[in-house]
A and B are shown apart, each in its own frame.
Chain A
Amino acid sequence: MALNITDIKRIAHLARIDISEAEAGATLTKLTGILGLIEQMQAVDTTGIVPMSHSQDLVQRLREDVITAINERELFQANAPVLGNGSAEKAVDGGLYLVPKVID
């Protein structure tokens, strides 16, 4: 399953990472090498083997339906990024995060 430049751009878009033409070329070379390493798996017959997603057989714990978190909005929003597009303000306003308009 050889990758090409179009694949790299498609994957980068799925991952929401902007990629230039030059970067896509370099990435193609590196990813092809890594996938070559991964390809060794295909030599193994895994028919009937139950996939292992985790090393421990865990069940999700339940807890009482009570409030455990306290409101620390100001503390958390102190880490908000700078708004950008010419503004040096933090991307928060009235306790809300500011993002570009998504609904007209």
Chain B
Amino acid sequence: MINNSLKTLSQMLAKKEISSVEMTQTFLNRINQYNPSINAYIALDNAKTLAQAKVADARIAAGNAAPLTGIPFAQKDIFCAKGWQTTCGSKMLANFIAPYDAHVVAQFDAAGAVNLGKTNMDEFAMGSSNETSYFGGVKNPWDFDRVPGGSSGGSAAAVAARLCAAATGTDTGGSIRQPASLCGFTGLKPTYGLVSRYGMIAFASSLDQAGPMAKSAEDCALMLNVMAGFDVRDSTSLNHPKEDYTRGLSQMTGDKPLNGLKIGLPKEFFGDGLDANVAKVVQDAIAEYKKLGAELIEISLPSSHLSIPVYYVLAPAEASSNLSRYDGVRYGHRAAEYSDLNDMYMKSRAEGFGAEVKRRILIGTYVLSAGYYDAYYLKAQQIRRLIADDFVQAFKQCDIIMGPTAPSTAFKAGEKADDPVAMYLQDVYTIATNLAGLPGMSIPAGFSNGLPVGLQLMGNYFDEARMLEVAHAYQQVTDWHLAMPKGIE
């Protein structure tokens, strides 16, 4: 059961082959067995979870089931869930009980889905290995010596180890896609503004976007149907008409389902810095796409190499502003001893934030400070436009862009923990789409030395349905997405 698609799980529930309580208990048992070693979940509340499953069973019995009713999911701990500990991976919020539901959580709740618990993550989503979490690192289920990627590392490990049917994540610079690549599953970052950020703890507000992390493109499509939609409570939520993201999947059959599709391959994504074995797996996947009828076109994203420098100005700048709310006054950590108000702020923040979060706040503060604003912040915003314009030009030549998701497979825990610049380079292929606000995906494309490799798909604005079809077509003729790590069966 644990490797079944969401569609199959839904059918099992509909046919009463299993109840939601039994299905949920199966996953809770697995969590009980494997979570102590993997550390994917940082908040569990079995009573609350099983109560939700009971409600779902009643809804199924009453004949009112929606497609995800009764299916157990994991929620990244960046989403507020009423009555649940919601920490964002930080000591700052270690005692915070969310007083309301994030839009994403409310949408899953309305769909009748079951919440298994909150998943571990890099502190305030700042990291690419889950090592900055106050609650400790997460093991990559494919190799316990290695990291799962980040920042959605707990959700990633939970999906890969089948400790949930699927999970939610967020992606500011690659935090859904890079762990999807490192843990071997399907993850999608939607067009900026498609999924409401209400109740999602803010890191860099012009880049943050929530998305599904699941086994297949079909699963992601079903989840996006629930997650996407206009929300008046998020001022950047887009009033885009509701879509059924599964609508074209059934047409991906026959020999050449992708006839006429033009795939752009950015030459900048296949140069220095890309591991040779990863490149081979990605090239093989692209060759498979040619067999499915797609046409391959070399394109150029000439400013994409500037994505990381631009991101490490803009994201910290936005973070330094967003994280100024943690001052020890109304919620979050307050220092035990302080002399005056300023001392209370200074000590509460020094104690509540971890090293990487502090570094980013300091960078953000510096680039926004008097005398440096034009040289850093304004300059970065100008280059951000160049990067976005590259995609506008590219999408005149092709329908979908493909390349590697991450430059390497999962690396060893501790390997890059003390070298921020080396860590930042993990997101070299994913950040450009965040800066442009475009949707991106990572799908399992094979293995290198026993470790998963992801293929990245990038689409034009609101082209999620097309991307999911293109991913689904590949998953109809390959089974990389069904591979499970050894030892967790």
Q: Is the CB of B114 closer than 8 A to any CB of chain A?
A: no
Contact status B424-A37, CB under 8 Å = yes
Q: Mark A55-81, 1 if CB is under 8 A from B, else 0.
A: 110101101000000001001111111
B197 CB, min distance to chain A CBs, angstroms: 13
- Number of interface residues, chain B, beta carbon within 8 A: 76
Contact status B437-A56, CB under 8 Å = yes
Contact status B382-A79, CB under 8 Å = no
A-side interface size class: 35 or more
Residue of A53, A72, A79 touching B97 (CB-CB under 8 A): A79
Q: Is the CB of A51 closer than 8 A to any CB of chain B?
A: yes
A95 CB, min distance to chain B CBs, angstroms: 12
Q: Is the CB of B466 closer than 8 A to any CB of chain A?
A: no
Contact status B363-A100, CB under 8 Å = no
Residue of A13, A34, A84 touching B359 (CB-CB under 8 A): A34
Q: Which residues of B contact A16 (CB under 8 A)?
A: 324, 327, 342, 345-346, 349
Contact status B238-A56, CB under 8 Å = yes
Contact status A11-B337, CB under 8 Å = no
Mostly, the B contact residues are helix
Known: A37-B312, A52-B385, A55-B192. A17 touches B344 (CB 8 A): no
Contact status B366-A11, CB under 8 Å = yes
Name the residue in A35, A53, A81, A101 with the highest tally of chain B Cβ atoms < 10 Å from its Cβ: A81
Q: Mark B221-247, 1 if CB is under 8 A from A, else 0.
A: 000000000001001101000000000
Q: Is the CB of B332 closer than 8 A to any CB of chain A?
A: yes
Residue of B306, B343, B420 touching A34 (CB-CB under 8 A): B420
Residue of B306, B332, B345, B378 touching A81 (CB-CB under 8 A): B332
Q: Which residues of B contact A46 (CB under 8 A)?
A: 379, 382-383, 386
> 11 extra interchain contacts, Cβ-Cβ under 8 A, other than A55-B436, A76-B331?
A13-B346, A18-B347, A51-B381, A56-B193, A58-B235, A77-B330, A81-B334, A82-B336, A100-B340, A100-B344, A102-B341
